[in-house]
Amino acid sequence: MAAGGFCKLPNGTVVVALNLPSPAADAPAGVRVLVHAQNRARALTRLRNLGLRAIYLRGNAAPPTPDEVTAVLHHPDGLIWRTNPDTTALTVELWRPIRALLGPPTRA
């Protein structure tokens, strides 16, 4: 389960933002993932197809900001991430494509 939210764009598509916890127990911050899709269900399906199986959107507690919407709309894949921002840090981390988070595919 993940905290997050969504916003519907004028053309009918949605941008879904999810805050995912870090898999490492000692890591303080997780990641924020943004997905652009036709609807919320398709956005979550895109993440599940990448291997993030336990992803659910409950409510709209942390919708994407206008800057986040702009970032995901300008990315060719429409699927980006960055670590959750640290409120004490002065630097801002850039958005990265989802391939950078998941790593190279494994061969059987």
- 41-44: long-range contacts, CB 8 A cutoff, minimum separation 24: 43/6, 43/14, 43/16, 44/16
State the average pLDDT for the chain: 82
How far is it, in rounded angstroms, from Cα 33 to Cα 17?
Answer: 6
What ranges do the domains of the chain cover? 3-102
The C-alpha torsion from 41 through 30 and 65 to 86, rounded to 10°, is 180
Residue 106 has a pLDDT of: 55
* Cβ contacts of 54 within 8 Å, gap of 6 or more: 1
Query: What would the pLDDT profile of 36-84 be if each residue is shown by its tens digit?
Result: 999 999 999 998 888 877 787 888 888 999 999 999 999 988 999 888 7
The whole model's pTM is what? 0.80
The amino acid at 106? T
